[in-house]
Amino acid sequence: MRTRHLLSTLALPLVLLAAACGGGGDEQRAIADTTTTTAKPTTTTTTEPPGPTSSMLTGLPAHEDALVRPVVAVKFDNVEGRSTPQVGIAAAEVVYEVPVEGQVTRFVALYQVNDTAPIGPIRSARGSEVGLLEELHSPLFTWHGANGILDAHVRGSDIIARSFDDVPELFYRDGSRRQPYNSFAVGTAEIRATAPPEATGPDRPIFRFAGPGQVAPSPVAVPATSVNIAFPPAFGGRGGRGTPVRFQWDGSRWLRYQAGHPHVDGNGTHVAVDNVIVRFTAALDSGTVDTAGSRVPTAQVIGSGEAWVFSAGKVATGTWHKPDGKTPTTYLDQQGQEMVLAPGVTWVALPYGPGSSFG
């Protein structure tokens, strides 16, 4: 069994790069030939460039109309026994699992081709989301609640805010659950319908997907049947390792387990994905505290660090690299070659410390 005892993350400052580009050239001027009295009409045929044929999130083929529309990103709560079961999580095309204060995690789920309704429970935004979502071009980010500092941080980015404060008519309280674990949105299609006309989907894949003849995740990958992911406290101290998480390979997909039992959607579907990425990440102090006085961490998603990539019943270890907020993350194996994923759904866990293992 491979166990991670020491996290070695190269912390780089978050730098958002802006590029300005311009064009120019000599103007072409048409000069009339006065000696010509007749001219044959000409016909110009314009061919539109082909649109995308596969999803930038999953690598799977889909209709072009779905592939150009903006991604809906939803912030799910994940307090075991209070937020569970989540409704709509099994329909997500990509899920980021990010630790927050109090040794719990929350999910940022992405939907572009798939739609689901209703969806929740939805909780507050954090600073980590900016570096994860800006690479999606103009995603619609849905959350409920945030302190002033983090709310301003999200709204100061290229993300299109679709929180409770922006579209309250799309939110409701589920009377069968207790607050604050009962905020729901009516559905991803309704959220997307509020997008401004200029909003579009990502223009490049956010992962490298395996093509014909390629081995996922890497030619140097080794067999693996399970991965246990620990989420220790962001800034040390007491409290153990938080809710235990495990993915088990069933011969075709990775099944997620939480707190020792299957992680199921509100409709009873066992959450299953095609790829699991464990992306070891440093925790930065956001400068804010929660209602209990705990420091609120921000995942340093820009920079580099250790990574494990699980796909097709195998695992490859290596590193992740993300130079800025708008460039997708690359994952390199131990030989420096870029790792590839099986087309399908991907779950990315971002633990802050040691304790994870696979076998």
What Cα–Cα distance (Å) separates residue 49 from each residue in 46, 181, 204?
9, 46, 16
Q: What are phi and psi of 143, to 5 degrees?
A: -145, 175
The predicted pLDDT at position 35 comes to 36
Q: Report the distance separating Cα 128 and Cα 282, nearest Å.
A: 11
Q: Is the peptide bond before 99 cis (omega within 30 degrees of 0)?
A: no
**Residue 211 confidence (pLDDT):** 93
DSSP H or E run through 320? strand 314-322
Which two tokens mark 178? 């207790």
CA nearest 146: which of 172, 128, 171, 173?
A: 128
Sequence-ordered list of residues with C-beta below 8 angstroms from that of 49, at least 6 positions apart, any chain: none
pLDDT at residue 22 in the model: 40
**Structural domains present in the chain:** 53-358 (3.50.90.10)
**Residues 228-279: tens digit of each pLDDT:** 999 988 877 555 446 789 999 999 999 999 999 999 999 999 999 999 999 9
Alpha-carbon span 51 to 41, nearest angstrom = 31
User: Dihedrals φ, ψ of 71, to 5°?
Assistant: -75, 140
Q: Which residue has the tokens 């930065």?
A: 284
CB atoms within 10 A of CB 258: 18
What local confidence, expressed as pLDDT, does residue 359 receive?
96
**CA distances for 8 relative to 5, 114, 306, 354, angstroms:** 10, 36, 7, 10
Amino acid identity for residue 233 in this structure: P
Q: How far apart are CA 302 and CA 21, in angstroms?
A: 24
Question: Taking the mean position of all CA atoms in its chain, how far away is CA 238?
Answer: 30
Partner residues linked to 97 by β-bridges:
107, 349
Integer angstrom CA distances of residue 18 from 35, 201, 202, 325, 349: 52, 19, 17, 10, 28
Residue 288: the pLDDT is: 72
Rounded to whole angstroms, how far apart are CA atoms 135 and 159? 10
- Alpha-carbon gap, residue 163 to 194, rounded angstroms: 12
Burial 265-274 (b: 16+ CB within 10 A, else e): bbeeeebbbb
pLDDT score, position 105:
93
Per-residue pLDDT of the chain (359 residues; tens, 9 = 90+): 555 543 343 333 333 333 333 444 333 333 233 333 344 444 444 445 555 789 999 999 999 999 999 999 999 999 999 999 999 999 999 999 999 876 789 999 999 999 999 999 999 988 889 999 999 999 999 999 877 777 888 888 889 999 999 999 999 999 999 999 999 999 999 999 999 999 999 999 999 999 999 999 999 999 999 999 999 888 775 554 467 899 999 999 999 999 999 999 999 999 999 999 999 999 888 777 776 677 778 889 999 999 999 999 999 999 999 999 999 999 999 999 999 999 999 999 999 988 999 99
Q: How far apart are CA 300 and CA 234, in angstroms?
A: 12
128 membership: H or E segment, kind and range: helix 128-133
